Amino acid sequence: MKRDLILKYAKTSGKGIEVAPYFNPILTKREGHDLLIMDVFDTETLRDRVRDDPLIDSARAAEIEEVDLVGDASRLGEVIAKAGLQGSLDYIVSSHNFEHLPNPILFLRGAGEALAPGGVLSMAVPDCRASFDHFRMPTRLSDWLAAYHEDRRQPSPETVMDSAANQSAYMRDGKATPGCNLAYDDPSGFEPDRNLAQAYADYVASREAPGDYRDTHCNVFFPESLELMLRDLRYLGLIELDVIEVSQTRGLEFFVHLRKPDTPQDIPDETFYAQRKALLTAMSRGLGAAGFGLGPVAGLRRAITGRLNNWRIRLKHRRRARKTP
């Protein structure tokens, strides 16, 4: 199901790239796809990391595809240029990698350089409201602009601290899980970590002596907030990709589909600002816990609960009527 959703617009019969699939690729070369794998690590390093991780079955190392392009995903454009692949790709696929990028605008610009006209970038990304980022504020366009104009190559100390200080777990039957289902789970199940002092101590240390790269979710969003930033970037001319679709959340993730147009078209102000107002309004209404319980299952539960409550009220009135002399 996920595979169908993320590949909804991708021309997989053509040539493509999958970015950082680790041991869970969406597509494989074994299936005959004309596919390149890009990762910041080479193949053997990735396999060693699986074998050394006690939380991952070591047998899954065999599922790691051979890495063809080694490099930072934020600098996709540089990697593609070095390989001589500019304008040659029919699709780019990325699952749960985009939120880790310290420089998303640079990645999106690189995707535009890599894709042929009509080519599609398809991504699966987590909805912050349903993940361990539940208590973090959504990323703003100004955050992305700062990262782009500063040519940021790793998460800022502030981003790392924000992630550490506000991370949470969803408690299910007394056990911590990384997220929940936005459609029917109760947001009160999120329990914030208690590590503010340590997060601040690490922040001060990293300001005084920057160390190695620290992986974290640099970007926090839900469908409307991400679509808003993507459309803003397109209007400003910072990316050349058009929004095909940003799906609603399924479980704890949603799907983003962007296309490089055959011929770029200017967006009329009237059209752009009408869309922008609608997205801003939807974003405002969907912040935090407000986005929960919007799925069909939740709707059915509300209907059943409502009927039960009405039945209880009628039964209560009947009992009172019987007691009345």
pLDDT string in tens for the chain (325-residue length)? 899 999 999 999 999 999 999 999 999 998 999 999 999 999 999 999 999 999 899 999 999 999 999 999 999 999 999 999 999 999 999 999 999 999 999 999 999 999 999 999 999 999 999 999 999 999 999 999 999 999 999 999 999 999 999 999 999 999 999 899 988 899 999 999 999 999 999 999 999 998 889 999 999 999 999 999 999 999 999 999 999 999 999 999 999 999 999 998 899 999 999 999 999 999 999 888 888 875 555 555 555 655 655 566 666 666 666 655 5
pTM confidence score: 0.88
Q: How far apart are CA 325 and CA 320, in angstroms?
A: 10
CA angle 132, 3, 226 (to 5 degrees): 45
Rounded to a whole number of angstroms, the CA Rg of the chain reads 23
Does CATH number 1.10.1060.10 belong to domain 2-153+216-293? Answer: no
Q: What does DSSP say about strands 34-39 and 69-70: parallel, antiparallel, or unpaired?
A: parallel
Element (H, E) at 316: helix 296-323
Rounded to 5°, the CA angle 124-130-136 comes to 100
